[in-house]
Structure 1
Amino acid sequence: MVHSMDTVHPMTSSLAEIFSNTADGVLGVDQDHIIILWNRAAERLVGFTAAEVMGRPCAEVWAVKSRTGCRLCGENCSPITSARKEEPVEGREIMTHTKAGRPLWLHVSTIVVPGGAPSLFTMVHIFHDVTRQVETEVLLGKVQSLLGSEGVLLDSSGMNPPEGASPLKVLTPREQEVLRFIARGESAKGIAKALQISTTTARNHTQKILSKLGLHAKVEAVALAYRYKHF
């Protein structure tokens, strides 16, 4: 159930019912940036209960930033500005923090629900955790930046490596499948669940991959997988 304030507009009540048990988190704010919707998935992802956030300004709870570190909340909130101009609000990735202070990357899709007057609306942000994906991409970028100039990851010509030269051919089909999951930032537990194998077996596959490729760390395997477009 999505908790709400004491005085609830019928539209807000309907939205609360629709989004109460969705797998994705839901944050709803009115045209004045006040939080009026917060579902169970949002509680689970961010750590705040609905009772702790309802009726508060969004920026006090959300305080989100872009990948470049720019603050996105507050009076200059671009989604609110777009909604007031009746312009579409595009999906985006944002970084916030959980109640415990842990950085959390989210992919957010936004729906603007009109109210009883042109100046009244509810902005519903639907979000899910993409922390692992973003951190993997950032880490890979750093590795490529550090090693690419030395020819470890990238050809000096900048061209794609020839298919026949791929060292990944030494891997079995199952090991290549595991490598794809590793390249996407998946954990041993996640790989085990996806492939319906034990976590121990997933770890064993990872160690065999590193051994066959002459690597010492998973990040090197990620870099190699991206170099040969194996992801």
Structure 2
Amino acid sequence: MATGTHGIVFSTGEPAFAVDRHGTILAWNEAAASSLGYTEAEALGSKCWQLVRGKDTFGNRYCCEHCPMMEMAIRHQSPYRCSMSLKTATGTLKRYKVSTLVLFDGHDGETLIHLCHAEPGGSMNTSRVSSDSNHDANSSLGILTPRELQVLQHLADGHATEDVATLLSISTATVRNHIEHLLHKLHAHSRLEAVAVARRLGLI
């Protein structure tokens, strides 16, 4: 583990941890241990998606083996701050505002450092979350217009803005407007995150 990674994680009073490109936890500070309940010994070497099992604002699973944030980092895109619920050692979910730093190492690849700011009153019972997430997912199926769904599907297929405009016979400005609207509706901060959220909701 790079000294810089360790230094950043342990220099903040906020809960923070670092993961490598395979999702393995490399560093876990005292604030993370206190807030989430996992000791440093328990966290180090664990897969982040198996330990904290982050969920997005809809209550759907966000942390997974193919981490959207790591995919953005690999593409040299900067992850934006987002809201996420993380599973504590007691089994409850706790809401955080998560800011992510990306460190690039020529030998070990990308490292993500998650800085987590707990939201007031952010603890919730997992059974309640499960029920609420099903409701949120179902109610979200109709929030996008047919055209926005078309744009989203093309984004999921890897098409750039100009390609989508050509495929749909609309201007690039119109495509950008559709993208802006669907990002807002899906509470996403990037195209990649929007696609990930849409897939979890069964929209595409």
Query: Normalised by the size of structure 2, how large is the TM-score?
Result: 0.56
Any residues of structure 2 matched to 1:192-231 within 5 Å, and which?
none
- Quick one: which of 44, 55, 71 aligns to 2:45? 55
2:80 corresponds to which residue?
Answer: 90
1:124 aligns with 2:113: yes
| Displacement of 1:103 | 2.1
1:102 maps onto 2:92 in alignment = yes
Alpha-carbon distance, 1:133 to partner: 6.5
Paired position in structure 2 for 1:115 = 105
Q: In percent, how many aligned pairs have the same letter?
A: 26
Q: Partners of 2:104 and 2:26 in 1: how far apart? A: 14
SS in 2 for 1:130: strand
Distance 1:134 1:17 in 2: 29
Assess, with a 3 A threshold, how the Cα gap between structure 1 residues 134 and 90 changes in structure 2: closer, same or farther. Answer: farther
How many aligned positions are there? 124
2:19 and 2:112 in contact (8 A); partners too: yes
Relative contact order higher in (CA < 8 Å, ≥ 6 apart): 2
Residue by residue over 1:53-91, the C-alpha shift from the partner in whole angstroms, topping out at 9 and shown as x without a partner, is 101111111101112122111123110110111111011
SS at match of 2:121: helix
Which segments of 5 or more consecutive residues in structure 2 lack a partner in the other structure?
125-204
Answer with 1 or 2: which has the greater Rg: 1
* 3-state SS, counterpart of residue 60 of structure 1: helix
What is aligned with 1:70? 60
Report the Cα distance in structure 2 between the residues aligned to 1:62 and 1:90, rounded to whole angstroms: 19
* Matched letter for residue 89 of structure 2: K
Deviates more, 1:87-96 or 1:15-24: 15-24
Counterpart amino acid of residue 125 in structure 1: H
Is 1:17 the equivalent of 2:10? no
Report the AA paired with residue 52 of structure 1: E
CA-atom RMSD in angstroms: 1.9
Q: TM-score, normalised by structure 1?
A: 0.50
Instruction: Check conservation: 2:19, 2:26, Cα contact below 8 A.
Output: yes
Query: In the TM superposition, what is the alpha-carbon distance from 1:134 to its structure 2 partner?
Result: 9.1
Structure 1 residue 131 displacement after superposition:
4.2
Out of 29, 32, 37, the residue aligned to residue 27 of structure 2 is 37
Using the TM superposition, give the Cα deviation of residue 17 of structure 1 relative to its aligned residue in structure 2, in angstroms: 2.8
Give the C-alpha shift of residue 15 in structure 1: 2.3
Question: In the alignment, residue 132 of structure 1 is paired with which amino acid?
Answer: G
AA aligned opposite 1:121: E
Which AA in structure 2 matches 1:16? H
Distance of 1:131 and 1:95 partners within structure 2: 13
Relative to its length, the structure with more strand (as a share) is 2
Read off the aligned partner of 1:88 and give its amino acid letter: S
CA distance in 2, matches of 1:124, 1:50: 15
Q: CA 1:30/1:102 → structure 2, altered by over 3 Å: closer, same or farther?
A: same
